[in-house]
């Protein structure tokens, strides 16, 4: 049996986490319909889920998953390469390729695994990666794991990036790595400008559409579709765990690129394939994303409504942010925690994001909407926010 004693260094670390007010407890959430969840017996409007299109509990996904579950069982039994790639994996990859307008697609165990694996496979020690400072941890970890030189840039200071790109004239390859939509700010990356720079300096552009897929673009293919640059992005990575309502990462591209990744990316080669039932559910979700654009339209309508409400209250959201991720910057970490607690008492689950996840002085509530929310939910939310801020001595 494992010892209940922690090594001293872990005890110390844990104590420091608690003393800094950063200890995270393990809670149990029960998802409910209508963008809600049950937590400790209380029904809450869930404003912190990534199920943007309300598909995770859609009966069509559940039924597709059930069919595959009874046909093929629960686990995939092996990595895709060895013997885990079933007909449902093949169907999903084919459907993803069609959806993305690409020759082929490749599945990964998660979006995290896709980012980590792809970047660490394409970039080598002699190369240089230019990585946006707001990029997700999985992109940053991929850059680190690759061993390549690693430069952080700001997408609001592209002149600096241009100078940096011009400086690197050595033999190594250059990569620009960015999220399409930054997960803590809801900001969109300037993909057109990044494409221009990548082309001017012979760099490859890698884009993670985790928060773009299903949410942006006329067909829901993401921000690259919305900005008309899909063909100019070298590698497009996506996740099935957010708007698609399932689990898994994917890359779409040419048959040749997919063949290369299949043979080279370690997070795909050395990890068990996704459960077939998840692939079947994702097939059903892609169908819905393409035929029910009303979900996307409603999501954006709700996002605009909430942003307007915050603006009327002079509540600082990140000005250029768009879409369903809406930060409310409160700056002070203790105030942010208190307001999140007040909101929970009033029936709303909202993420309180503090350093080191976001820079010092920018602690925030991070609201994410789904198309299952109602305007009335948001009206009540705004009132509850007003009430909490007033109680905490924060006037408008």
Provide the minimum distance between the beta carbon of 11 and ligand PMP in the complex, in angstroms, as a whole number: 29
Nearer to ligand PMP by C-beta: 266 or 375? 266
383 catalytically annotated: no
Provide the minimum distance between the beta carbon of 222 and ligand PMP in the complex, in angstroms, as a whole number: 12
Which backbone phi and psi does 260 adopt, to 5 degrees? -65, -45
Provide the minimum distance between the beta carbon of 264 and ligand PMP in the complex, in angstroms, as a whole number: 20
Provide the minimum distance between the beta carbon of 200 and ligand PMP in the complex, in angstroms, as a whole number: 26
162 catalytically annotated: no
Nearer to ligand PMP by C-beta: 249 or 333? 249
Residue pair 290/325 in contact (Cβ under 8 Å)? The answer is no
Binding-site ranges for ligand PMP (CB under 6 A): 110-112, 115, 136, 138, 179, 183, 208, 210-211, 239, 241, 249
Report the alpha-carbon distance of residue 163 to residue 312 in Å, rounded: 40
The closest alpha carbon to 371, from 307, 294, 306, 304, belongs to 294
Q: Spot the catalytic one: 183, 252, 303, 321.
A: 183
Nearer to ligand PMP by C-beta: 165 or 223? 223
Provide the minimum distance between the beta carbon of 8 and ligand PMP in the complex, in angstroms, as a whole number: 33
Strand 363-368 and strand 351-353: the pairing is: antiparallel
Report the alpha-carbon distance of residue 113 to residue 103 in Å, rounded: 22
Q: Considering Cα of 224, then 225, then 227, then 233, what sign does the dihedral take?
A: positive
Nearer to ligand PMP by C-beta: 148 or 244? 244
242 catalytically annotated: yes
Nearer to ligand PMP by C-beta: 307 or 366? 366
Terminal alpha carbon distance of the chain? 56
Taking CB atoms, the residue at the shortest distance from ligand PMP is 111
Q: Spot the catalytic one: 89, 136, 155, 242.
A: 242
Q: Spot the catalytic one: 89, 136, 211, 373.
A: 211
- The catalytic residues are 183, 211, 242
């Amino acid at each position: 049996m494992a010892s209940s004693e922690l090594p001293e260094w872990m005890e110390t670390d844990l104590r420091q986490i608690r003393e800094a007010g950063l200890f995270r407890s393990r809670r149990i959430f029960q998802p409910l319909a209508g963008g809600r969840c049950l937590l400790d017996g209380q029904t809450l409007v869930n404003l912190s889920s990534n199920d943007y299109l309300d598909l995770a509990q859609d009966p069509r996904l559940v039924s597709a998953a059930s069919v595959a579950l009874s046909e093929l069982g629960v686990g995939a039994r092996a990595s895709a390469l060895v013997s885990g790639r079933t007909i449902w994996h093949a169907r999903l990859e084919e459907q993803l390729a069609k959806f993305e307008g690409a020759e082929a697609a490749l599945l990964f165990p998660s979006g995290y695994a896709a980012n980590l694996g792809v970047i660490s496979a394409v970039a080598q020690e002699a190369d240089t990666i230019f990585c946006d400072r707001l990029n997700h941890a999985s992109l940053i970890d991929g850059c680190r794991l690759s061993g390549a030189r690693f430069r952080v840039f700001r997408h609001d200071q592209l002149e600096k990036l241009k100078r940096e790109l011009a400086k690197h004239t050595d033999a190594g390859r250059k990569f620009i790595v960015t999220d399409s939509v930054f997960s803590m700010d809801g900001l969109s990356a300037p993909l057109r400008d990044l494409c221009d720079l990548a082309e001017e300096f012979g760099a490859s552009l890698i884009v993670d559409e985790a928060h773009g897929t299903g949410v942006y673009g006329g067909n829901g293919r993401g921000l690259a579709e919305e900005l008309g640059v899909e063909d100019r992005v070298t590698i497009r990575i996506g996740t099935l765990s957010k708007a698609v309502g399932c689990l898994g990462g994917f890359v779409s591209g040419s048959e040749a690129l997919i063949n290369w990744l299949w043979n080279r990316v370690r997070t795909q080669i050395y990890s068990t394939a996704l459960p077939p039932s998840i692939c079947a559910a994702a097939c059903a979700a892609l169908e819905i994303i393409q035929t029910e654009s009303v979900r996307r339209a409603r999501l954006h309508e709700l996002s605009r409504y909430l942003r307007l409400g915050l603006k009327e209250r002079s509540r600082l959201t990140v000005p250029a942010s768009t879409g369903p991720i809406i930060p409310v910057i409160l700056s002070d970490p203790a105030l942010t925690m208190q307001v999140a607690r007040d909101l929970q008492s009033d029936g709303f689950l909202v993420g309180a994001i503090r350093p080191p996840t976001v820079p010092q002085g920018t602690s925030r509530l991070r609201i994410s909407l789904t198309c299952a929310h109602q305007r009335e939910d948001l009206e009540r939310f705004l009132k509850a926010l007003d009430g909490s801020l007033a109680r905490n001595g924060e006037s408008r």
